[in-house]
Amino acid sequence: MSDGSVCLLEPLGLLSIRGPDSRRFLQGQLSNNVDELAGTAALPADAAERTLLRAGLHNPQGRTLAVLGLLAAGPDQVLAVLPRELVGITRATLQRYVLRSKVALTDESDTHRLYGLTRPAATPGALSVRYAGARHLLVLSADQAAPLGEALPYEAWHAADVAAGLPQIYAASSGQFIAQMLNLDCIGAVSFTKGCYTGQEVIARAHYRGRVKRRMQRFISREPLQLSPGESGEFSAGGTFRVVDSVQHADGRCEFLAVTTLPGAAAETGTSTDTSTERAPASSDAAEAPAPAGQRVTASALPLPYPLPD
């Protein structure tokens, strides 16, 4: 990616949560502290330096249904960025909890355009926040002109997400992982002090009782391979994994994020110490149950840009 690149994030959609109770409502549904959105309003002078607030939407069993990127569009409106394929079902899930809250949930995916930028851009009438690292997210209405810059294919933006260890949930993987298995706690997408929300009891118990032994890690296949989110596999040295996200390299190899047993947890059970492969599962907890074996994969481990808990 070069400076000044612009990517149309067409696979992503936008869910609007609007109304005087919007933030209080989300506070009771999402894993992060929505009150931190107080300073995310669209102010042209500094909006690009503000950061997208990530949070998980979970079911009562603590399983992640969607990962949302939140930004404030005003004092009574929050916009949630997530894969377009999940906008409808996420809206329906949240709608069940609205009850008497003064909140309206609408799919804004067709009325707005999402762009990924490799550097800040001041665009009148647009919402802009820091997305990750030096990358920024720009929200424009569908009738606004696209920002200027060198066109960047979505595959390149997606590859940067995988390299950054940013977890994403799709229709095929919704409900498969608890928050810590996706490293949501490592990227600041979980608050353990904000109070109750749907699934909070399971996520808090996994946090306070000790280390989660299966977490998302980053790999690259040693030969041409195709893997999809939600797919299970078995490393050539033994042990299973489940794919969170993946991208294809030009040579056909697959770089992927997958939930698998942590190296330290494997050592505790006396399994292989080869860092290129998954270890045997070290926990019998149902929330950390290993994925069923699928295709056999030979892969090497790649580093994540953030540390995993010891």
- Tell me the sheet residues that pair with 77: 18, 74
- Mean pLDDT over the full length of the chain: 87
- Buried-state track 169-189, b at ≥16 Cβ within 10 A, e below 16: bbeebbebbbbbbbbbbbbeb
Neighbours of 307 (CB within 10 A): 8
Comparing 268 with 97, which gets the higher pLDDT? Answer: 97
pLDDT of residue 139: 95
Lowest mean pLDDT among 36-40, 41-45, 99-103, 125-129: 41-45
Q: pLDDT tens across 235-250, in order?
A: 998 789 999 999 999 9
pLDDT of residue 292: 56
Q: Span 130-135, mean pLDDT?
A: 94
Give me 234's structure tokens: 């078995």
Stated as kind and residue range, the H or E segment containing 234 is strand 232-235
Q: pLDDT tens across 205-228, in order?
A: 999 987 789 999 999 999 999 999
**What amino acid is encoded at 119 in this protein?**
R
Q: pLDDT tens across 270-285, in order?
A: 443 333 333 333 333 4
In angstroms, the Cα distances linking 229 to 1, 195, 218, 239 are: 24, 31, 13, 18
pLDDT band at 266 (very low <50, low <70, confident <90, very high): low
User: Residue 33 pLDDT more than 60?
Assistant: yes
Q: How far apart are CA 176 and CA 242, in angstroms?
A: 9
- Tell me the sheet residues that pair with 18: 77, 104
Q: pLDDT tens across 164-206, in order?
A: 999 999 999 999 999 999 999 999 999 999 999 999 999 999 9
pLDDT of residue 237: 82
User: Residue 40 pLDDT more than 80?
Assistant: no
Give me 242's structure tokens: 């489940």
pLDDT of residue 192: 95
Q: Span 99-105, mean pLDDT?
A: 95
pTM of the model: 0.88
Q: How far apart are CA 300 and CA 295, in angstroms?
A: 16
**What amino acid is encoded at 88 in this protein?**
G
**Strand, coil or helix: what is 81?**
strand
Residues in CB range of 124: below 8 A, 6 or more apart: 44
